[in-house]
Amino acid sequence: MIPQYASALLISDLHLTPSMPLTAQRFFDFCEKDAPKVEAVFILGDLFEYWVGDDAALQSPFQQEVKRALATLSTKVKTYYLHGNRDFLIGSDFISKTGMTLLQDPSKINIAGSDYVIAHGDALCTADVGYQVFRGCVRKPWIQKLFLRLPLHWRRSIANHLRSNSGAQYQRAPHSLETLTQVKTNVTNIACAAVLRDQAGDKLIHGHTHLPAHHHEKLQEQEWQRWVLSDWDLDHPESAPPRASALLIDQDGVRYSNLIKT
């Protein structure tokens, strides 16, 4: 039985971290004021900047604060979570203590009478062959078990190293390769078409790419709509305009809801 509700809000890619307090505060406000207005909330991954194990959260006052906000939200509205590429190690302990329900990536949901396929989006970026090889490796259960047995400070060091390398990759990319880099790290029509065929759907919602937009797409005889969720960042106005939005679905249709306070 797929989740079925009259209204829902969908968010992703908040990358919550203590170093981004304005973004974090907007999430806490979202949980308290915005989210309870609908029947269900779907978080499509990368809620945190990184996650190195549920045991690490016990030592993080910030992650404990987020956990409490989610637990309170889950008493007011049904809340679902889907793993992202930054927080795929979120485990059953954290999920159970927040009251959320973990969904597989991808999953089908029904909101206001229409079916939607939801995904984080990283698995759809099939032009980035190197990343897909890496993703396939780190998602293996035995690899995850080995990683989670490492001392906590080792795990944090590895996570920070991977984050630094990821950021440096794009900072070093020549301007002439900017378009090529965007294509490589974006979803492909072939991957989107395949997941929609597998899920028997024609409406796809995902995050990951940080390129919010509504697309009408076609591959051969297959047609579909695709909505991309925004990332959130209210702490770095010097480098990019503030961003924070959700996708609202109800009887009036599908639309983006701007969550930036003016």
Question: What's the token pair of residue 147?
Answer: 């990683």
pLDDT of 171 above 90: no
Does residue 145 or residue 1 have the better pLDDT?
A: 145
What percentage of the chain carries pLDDT values higher than 70? 92
Residue 169 confidence class, pLDDT cut points 50, 70, 90: very low
- Read off φ and ψ for residue 223, nearest 5 degrees: -125, 150
Cα 184 from Cα 163, distance rounded (Å): 18
pLDDT of 78 above 70: yes
Buried b (16+ CB within 10 A) or exposed e, 152-188: eeebeeebeeeeeeeeeeeeeeeeeeeeeeeebbbbb
**Residue 182: per-residue pLDDT:** 61
Listed by start position, the domains of the chain span: 4-258
What is the residue whose two structure tokens read 């259960």?
A: 141
Mean residue pLDDT of the chain comes to 91
Lowest model confidence (mean pLDDT) among 101-115, 149-163, 199-213: 149-163
Of 38, 40, 36, 35, nearest to 14 (Cα)? 35
User: How confident is the model over 247-262, as pLDDT tens digits?
Assistant: 999 999 999 999 997 5
Q: Which amino acid is at 215?
A: H
**Residue 176: per-residue pLDDT:** 40
- What pairing do the DSSP bridges indicate for beta strands 101-103 and 78-82? parallel
Question: What's the token pair of residue 48?
Answer: 């945190």
Cα 164 from Cα 25, distance rounded (Å): 25
Contact 242, 260 (CB under 8 A): yes
What percentage of the chain carries pLDDT values higher than 90? 81
Domain 4-258 listed as CATH 3.60.21.10: yes
Following DSSP, what letter does each residue of 121-185 receive, concatenated? SGGG-TT-HHHHHHHHHHTSHHHHHHHHTS-HHHHHHHHHHHHHHHHHHHHHS-GGGHHHHHHHT
pLDDT of 167 above 80: no
